[in-house]
Amino acid sequence: MKFKLDVSDMADGFFEDAHLLGIVAPIRDYQFCWQLNQRFRFRFRINNDIEIQLTKKNRNYYFPVYEYHEPGQFLSHYLYKNQHDGEYLLPEFRHLDFLWMIKGDEVSSSAIGDIQQSIRAIGGVQLVVELTNEKIKNKEHLIF
């Protein structure tokens, strides 16, 4: 007998206070983080403890996650690399290089718009779009 874990409720809870931006920027993840840190005065750092591991075709794929917690606020930023060795964290968004999740305190839509504009101003960034929960088929891949 096999049991299958239903993570749909967990995914809904995980995303209820989150905004997700999809970014097309064909540059190295560490270079992109450096540019984000300069522009936003953030300190994105890789967190190997929350790295996402997916197993497909009897192979493991690792997707790094960078994080930054805003001091004095209950607001965290997570930057996921969407592609590793030909596999995608969110296969429904193959064209995206990065996923930026903003999670925690309420963030206004104008603040999200300001963040998108600032990301667009970074060299190498071709597209920034907010992703709605309904469009994300593989939400559970983003849960750490």
Q: Is the pLDDT of residue 14 over 70?
A: no
65-80: pLDDT as tens digits = 999 999 998 999 999 9
72-117: pLDDT as tens digits = 989 999 999 999 888 999 999 999 999 999 998 888 999 999 999 9
Q: Is the pLDDT of residue 1 over 70?
A: no
Distance CA 92, CA 83 (A): 12
Region 30-57 average pLDDT: 91
122-137: pLDDT as tens digits = 999 999 999 987 777 7
Share of the chain above pLDDT 90, in %: 60
Check if the beta carbon of residue 41 is closer than 8 Å to that of residue 118.
Answer: no
| Domain definitions of the chain by residue range | 38-58+103-144
Region 11-36 average pLDDT: 87
Predicted confidence band at 55 (pLDDT cuts at 50, 70, 90)? Answer: confident
Predicted confidence band at 144 (pLDDT cuts at 50, 70, 90)? Answer: low
Q: Is the pLDDT of residue 54 over 70?
A: yes
* pLDDT on residue 67: 95
Check if the beta carbon of residue 65 is closer than 8 Å to that of residue 80.
Answer: yes
H or E stretch at 9: helix 8-15
CA angle, corner 122, sides to 142 and 129, nearest 5?
Answer: 45
Phi, psi angle pair for 143, to nearest 5°: -80, 130
Laid out side by side, the sheet with 45-46 consists of 45-46, 65-69, 75-81, 98-104, 18-24, 127-131
DSSP state of 72: T
